[in-house]
Structure 1
């Protein structure tokens, strides 16, 4: 089992961040990988064929998962995670059975790595704080895909401020703070964000120097770029080493996705600059759904968010606020203010 720090050392690069991929990476000898499953770059010289295949667990581990109390039809509270990469809020079968919720129609649910046909239930009222959904039909997914009683998706986050405090290990969903920038602390950096596909998108972003769309994905344990971004990075580093490794991604649903892995030298988000970030690359199903396979794009997961003491995702004000500091012994990232 390789930690993120071990991988970085093997690639000949320094690492300024906590090993957020610890216990999430394994090596598969090339003799165990069918030729049809070797990524294209491995066959074309971008990564040598004798390199072991990295297997990255892109799901969110229990240590990184924070939850908020949720009331359903006046009962609870139940513990839900907030997943800004999910279109819909989701329940688990055990909770559905406990509450005896009436069934709804089957629907197709699109996830990061694929789509599934899901049963649904009808919910009269779902509430956390002052955020509320009324008379909705919600998908039901297995516990292993959710990791708690349920997930809160972007359907309940419109006009809300999601506060992720990694020092206190607390998660809060509250009303938007449109005047928050006027009283911003000295160690806070505010970045404007648009909403695309219902998600907060940091449009003014560059990953390894390549202009890219960057989506905040609080439900993903590993940051993932599409292959259009991988090609853009490789093109910019044509005259310098670009040590990509063939990889497969294991998601919360258990699906395996072919791609590659590299240490990204810098991610620039507005006035914020983070250095030496491990990132996976693959043409995920969700990029196809969003018609973004030909445009550089990335999902920034909890591995990046946890580099900060606190992160606020304000859907109402259209901004993301990063508070610098040490969360869990992290080395502070490089930054410009």
Structure 2
């Protein structure tokens, strides 16, 4: 049976917490949730903890503020396409006591929205640890492996063996929209859920009808404007869960091609789909769990 799911200084002060237990996920002002991070031993600064990012990165404004020396530019693929971006070398990045050192990071163009965030911590930080995103409690916990999963997941948690994508370290899993099957990419760095045209068609969505309207313009690392259509889907099912009335954006994003999903029903499974869940993530083992939280889901 399916279970229903029913200014920088100020933010840093709000984010400050002791490491090693859990850290808060705090709204960044645009729907993203950020966690407190230490960069080169200093902090805290707000970072997005992102299962959809292969590696960590910093925004241009933060690189300039910290006077980071730019290295060789490399091609970086994002949601709307690829662009050449500067690289930087950081001594360390730490979140909840989890630290990686001598870190090669890429630059990101400053966001066009009102998000207050200094950078992104990706799968490079989470490898070797179990990351728990408790969305109802608005906390993140990072625990170094090995760890007993019985201590972290409830008996009713549903484990998912993540699939691979063509280009990237993201994990995929099966989803069903309005009875149509497709592939989802778990992405805690995406505040919304995006589906491609193939999935919209197979799910019987009339994206130019009365139930859909102009959605947010997406830019991504390529700073390439991509228009979307936004509306609600009747049902989405995954891993024994069922969500009704989920808002999705429809766009044939360039990243779907990079993942090998250009012509297949596919979606970016964003945090608006996880608001009622506790997600336990073991990227290194390519598995994750959807679990219940002790907290009430935010309205």
Establish whether TM, by shorter chain, passes 0.5: yes
Q: 1:186 Cα deviation (Å)? A: 5.6
Cα 1:102–1:62 change in 2 (3 A) is same
Measured on the aligned residues, the alpha-carbon RMSD in Å equals 3.2
Cα 1:230–1:101 change in 2 (3 A) is same
Q: Normalized against structure 2, the TM-score is what?
A: 0.75
Say whether 1:109 aligns with 2:80.
Answer: no
SS in 2 for 1:155: helix
Unaligned 5+ segments in structure 2 are 7-26
Would you say the 8 A contact 1:220–1:301 is kept in 2?
A: yes
SS in 2 for 1:199: coil
Would you say the 8 A contact 1:181–1:190 is kept in 2?
A: no
Say whether 1:138 aligns with 2:105.
Answer: yes
Would you say the 8 A contact 1:260–1:281 is kept in 2?
A: yes
Partner of 2:132: 163
Say whether 1:222 aligns with 2:203.
Answer: no
Say whether 1:118 aligns with 2:88.
Answer: no
Cα 1:231–1:325 change in 2 (3 A) is farther
Deviation track 1:224-265 (CA, whole Å, cap 9, x = no partner) reads 11111112112xx89xxx865353432265643234334222
SS in 1 for 2:108: coil
For residues 137 and 160 of structure 2, the distance between their equivalents in structure 1, rounded to whole angstroms, comes to: 23
Bigger helix fraction: 1
Partner of 1:80: 47
Q: 1:181 Cα deviation (Å)? A: 4.8
Would you say the 8 A contact 2:88–2:105 is kept in 1?
A: yes
Which structure is larger by alpha-carbon Rg, 1 or 2? 1
Would you say the 8 A contact 2:233–2:247 is kept in 1?
A: yes
Which of 238, 248, 255 aligns to 1:279? It is 248
Would you say the 8 A contact 1:205–1:214 is kept in 2?
A: yes
Would you say the 8 A contact 2:72–2:87 is kept in 1?
A: yes
For residues 107 and 208 of structure 1, the distance between their equivalents in structure 2, rounded to whole angstroms, comes to: 40
SS in 1 for 2:123: coil
Aligned residue pairs, count: 267
Partner of 2:225: 256
SS in 2 for 1:194: coil
Counterparts of 1:1-337 in structure 2, within 5 Å, are 61-62=29-30, 64-72=32-40, 74-129=41-96, 131-144=98-111, 147-176=116-145, 179-181=148-150, 184-185=153-154, 188-196=157-165, 197-202=168-173, 204-234=174-204, 245-251=212-218, 253=220, 255-308=224-277, 310-317=278-285, 318-323=287-292, 327=296, 329-330=298-299
Q: 1:153 Cα deviation (Å)? A: 1.6
Would you say the 8 A contact 1:306–1:327 is kept in 2?
A: no
Q: Normalized against structure 1, the TM-score is what?
A: 0.67
SS in 1 for 2:247: strand
Deviation track 1:140-189 (CA, whole Å, cap 9, x = no partner) reads 22442673121112232223322222343222333357642577436644
SS in 1 for 2:68: coil
SS in 2 for 1:135: strand
